[in-house]
Amino acid sequence: MAQALLSTIDLTVGYRNGKRVAEVLKHLNLSLYAGELVCLLGANGIGKSTLLRTISGVQTALNGVVEVNGRDLTAYSSKELSKLVGIVYTDRTLAGALTVEELVSLGRQPYTGFFGRLDDDDHRVVADAIESVGMSHKTHDYVATLSDGERQKAMIARALAQETPIIILDEPTAFLDVASRIETMQLLRQLAQSQQKAILLSTHDVGLSLPLTDRLWLVTADSTVVEGTTEQLIADGTLNNLFPNRNVAFDSVVMDFRVKD
Amino acid sequence: MKATSHRSTITLIALSLLVVVLLPLNLVFGSIDIPFGEVVSAVFGGEVSKATWQTIVLETRLPMALTATLAGAALAVAGLLLQTTFDNPLAGPSILGVSTGSSLGVAIVMLAMGGVVSEAISSYLGILLGAIVGAAVVMLVLLFFSTIVKSTAMLLIIGIMVGYLTSSAISLLNFFSTQEGVHSFVIWGMGNFSGVTLDRLPLFAILILVSLLLSFTLVKPLNALLLGARYAENLGVSIKATRNKLLIISGILTAVVTAFCGPIGFLGLIVPHIARLALRSSNHTVLLPATALAGAVIALLCNLISVLPASWGVIPINAITPVIGVPIIIYIIVNRKKILYFN
């Protein structure tokens, strides 16, 4: 197999507050490859966001190393990092009075000069990014007038315009209706394949992610993360233990959790 | 983009024209009636029938109009920088306590001088220094709390509280000072654009223009900040450095205006909204120049209104700005669901 774009070596993530250390997820040895869509699955509040923040360089690791392109993440400048890892959050923004084009153009900031002026090449990248999320007809619309699903697509286009080999999305389907959720997942899978991006997203929506994801990063009850294909993780029972103390069990026929018999 | 940029161009041209129209109007109208023709000849060095008219136009009205133009632009831009930095459209130099901090600095200097604000350079440089130090102290307090309090709304409330504390310190100072001291401070506190005389105008203009130019170098990170600090960071923006630069520039703009014109309320808060509503855009590439121009327009308008009573005297600026500002703020709050930049 090709070299991983991103890998973690005995990574421990969590928070350090003075002398107190709170380890959230421990001993992580994970990898992310170009052209694949990986879902980080786990219960709410188990540390998915902490892990995403750490491997995107926003938060420092408690222990271990994150490598991007075989080089320690902390060795990159923030400028270099902005061309390697693009992030999509579900944060509220003040971008309502920007057009979709202006919003997506912000993704070009790592490449533009002092005043952020776009050249022909930048304009082409922005137009392509908007086109590849299927929003070309809304190019000149204000972000405020978009539906939640469209807004999420625009934010994904912004990350695409950033031209990073890795895109990380924190709960991208959290506030969407079911149709938009499926569309977003399909879009991300198709982008991973057609543009050879490594796309990692966190979700707790098992039923939606299993049929569309290439591989899973599964947060287990003992505070670590197991990686593998859906089939592997069903076969070895890891998936069944996703919610260990809850009254649910994994049903491998419907590919989702249901109430325990 | 086509429609937006078209609207931007029209808005910027319209605002520039308003400045061009309002500036001469500010020279024509005042407490003394001077015929229009005489004003024109006074400005262009022609024959003026009365020597006092020439003095009034050139040494009172001209510096006053230019001061209003610069002060309006400065406060408006300071407000915009603070609104984007704090990710809160209701932030502004007076709300965050920055103006009040300047006031305290000025109060200390003025009252220490016993209310004798002389024409000496040391006197107004002292006031300027007091205002800058006062604004800086409030900015430092805000910066300190911004490392502890992550929520910008909570930070805004801390700013308001700091403002109250500062006001109470000013009241205490007034209580213990001489009557002359209190009088000159109260007059200064009402706000007016006549405090910058012709010989002080160059210093005032240079300080304001340099700070405004510096703010234009921050357009790119300001736009990134529209997405919030986390996105801006992912785009390679150094949040800490940018935030510090924004606070320093808005602090200097506020302090310089406050030192010369008094603590003028509302302009910093409302003008960025007027500019956004007119442009229908929060893109700082056009929003920043539009805000500066709109600030100049509103300040010139306030100055014009302040001399309306003619021979009866001059209305304090701070009696006018709330009349313009409050309806706009209420309009914005009531209509926030329909206003693009809130959604």
pLDDT higher than threshold 50 for residue B23: yes
- Which residues of chain A does B1 touch, with a Cβ-Cβ cutoff of 8 Å? 99, 101-102, 139-140
Digit-coded pLDDT (tens) for B246-302: 988 999 999 999 988 988 988 999 999 999 999 999 999 999 999 999 999 999 999
pLDDT higher than threshold 90 for residue A247: no
Q: Based on the domain organization, do A60 and A120 belong to the same domain?
A: no
**Domain B2-342 belongs in CATH node 3.30.710.10:** no
- Which residues of chain B does A126 touch, with a Cβ-Cβ cutoff of 8 Å? none
- The answer to whether the Cβ–Cβ distance between B283 and A98 falls below 8 Å is yes
CATH (domain of A261): 3.40.50.300
pLDDT higher than threshold 80 for residue B114: no
- Which residues of chain A does B237 touch, with a Cβ-Cβ cutoff of 8 Å? 109
pLDDT higher than threshold 50 for residue B99: yes
pLDDT of residue B314: 79
Out of A125-129, B163-167, B234-238, least confident range: B163-167
pLDDT of residue A5: 93
Residue of B3, B219, B280 with shortest CB distance to A116 = B219
- Which residues of chain B does A91 touch, with a Cβ-Cβ cutoff of 8 Å? 227-228, 230-231
* Residue A28: band (very low, low, confident or very high) from pLDDT cuts 50, 70, 90: very high
Chain B CA closest to residue A53: B230
How far is A164 from B26, CA to CA, in rounded Å? Answer: 55
Token pair listed for A50: 């902490």
Q: What is the pLDDT averaged over residues B103-130?
A: 76
Residues of B with CB under 8 A from a CB of A: 1-4, 84, 87, 89, 217, 219-220, 223-224, 226-228, 230-231, 233-238, 276, 280-283, 285, 340-343
Nearest to A165 by CA among A38, A55, A8, A32: A32
pLDDT of residue B196: 85
Domain end point (choices A163, A189, A221): A163
CA of A159, closest CA in chain B: separation in Å? 10
Out of A68-77, A226-235, B296-305, least confident range: A226-235
* Residue B4: band (very low, low, confident or very high) from pLDDT cuts 50, 70, 90: low
Half-sphere exposure at residue B156, Cβ-oriented, CA atoms within 13 angstroms: 16
Q: Please state the domain count of chain A.
A: 2
Q: Based on the domain organization, do A68 and A112 belong to the same domain?
A: no
Token pair listed for A206: 């098992």
Q: Based on the domain organization, do A171 and A77 belong to the same domain?
A: yes
CA of B82, closest CA in chain A: separation in Å? 14
Share of chain A above pLDDT 90, in %: 58
pLDDT higher than threshold 80 for residue B115: no
* Residue B118: band (very low, low, confident or very high) from pLDDT cuts 50, 70, 90: low
Token pair listed for A238: 């890891």
* Residue A3: band (very low, low, confident or very high) from pLDDT cuts 50, 70, 90: confident
Structure-model confidence comparison of residues B117 and A158, the more confident one: A158
pLDDT of residue B310: 67
Q: Based on the domain organization, do A206 and A252 belong to the same domain?
A: yes
Chain A CA closest to residue B281: A97
- The answer to whether the Cβ–Cβ distance between B228 and A93 falls below 8 Å is yes
Structure-model confidence comparison of residues B18 and B117, the more confident one: B18
- Which residues of chain A does B222 touch, with a Cβ-Cβ cutoff of 8 Å? none
Phi/psi-derived region of residue B339, left when phi > 0, alpha when psi is between -120 and 50, beta in every other case: beta
CA B114 to chain centroid: 27
Q: Based on the domain organization, do A250 and A133 belong to the same domain?
A: no
- Which residues of chain B does A127 touch, with a Cβ-Cβ cutoff of 8 Å? none
Chains A, B: CB contacts within 8 A come to: 102
Chain B CA closest to residue A138: B1
Q: Based on the domain organization, do A177 and A254 belong to the same domain?
A: yes
Q: Based on the domain organization, do A19 and A48 belong to the same domain?
A: yes
- The answer to whether the Cβ–Cβ distance between A109 and B87 falls below 8 Å is no
Structure-model confidence comparison of residues B114 and A119, the more confident one: A119
CA of A155, closest CA in chain B: separation in Å? 10
Q: Based on the domain organization, do A147 and A119 belong to the same domain?
A: yes
CA of A112, closest CA in chain B: separation in Å? 9
pLDDT higher than threshold 70 for residue B52: yes
Q: Which domain holds residue A171?
A: 1-84+165-261
H or E element, residue B17: helix B2-28
The predicted complex's ipTM stands at 0.88
- Which residues of chain A does B276 touch, with a Cβ-Cβ cutoff of 8 Å? 97
Share of chain B above pLDDT 70, in %: 95
How far apart, in Å, do the first and last CA atoms of chain B sit?
19
Q: What is the pLDDT averaged over residues B15-44?
A: 87
pLDDT of residue B1: 43
How far is A48 from A172, CA to CA, in rounded Å? Answer: 13
Half-sphere exposure at residue B174, Cβ-oriented, CA atoms within 13 angstroms: 16
Give ∠ CA B132-B137-B141 in degrees, rounded to 5: 145
pLDDT of residue B316: 87
Half-sphere exposure at residue A260, Cβ-oriented, CA atoms within 13 angstroms: 9
Torsions phi, psi for A63 (to 5 deg): -160, 155
Structure-model confidence comparison of residues B293 and B34, the more confident one: B293
Question: Taking all residues of chain B, what is their mean pLDDT, rounded to a whole number?
Answer: 87
* Residue B2: band (very low, low, confident or very high) from pLDDT cuts 50, 70, 90: very low
Q: Based on the domain organization, do A46 and A172 belong to the same domain?
A: yes
- The answer to whether the Cβ–Cβ distance between A97 and B235 falls below 8 Å is no
pLDDT of residue B211: 97
pLDDT higher than threshold 80 for residue B180: no
Q: Based on the domain organization, do A110 and A223 belong to the same domain?
A: no
Chain A CA closest to residue B2: A140
pLDDT higher than threshold 90 for residue B150: no
pLDDT higher than threshold 60 for residue A29: yes
pLDDT higher than threshold 50 for residue A101: yes
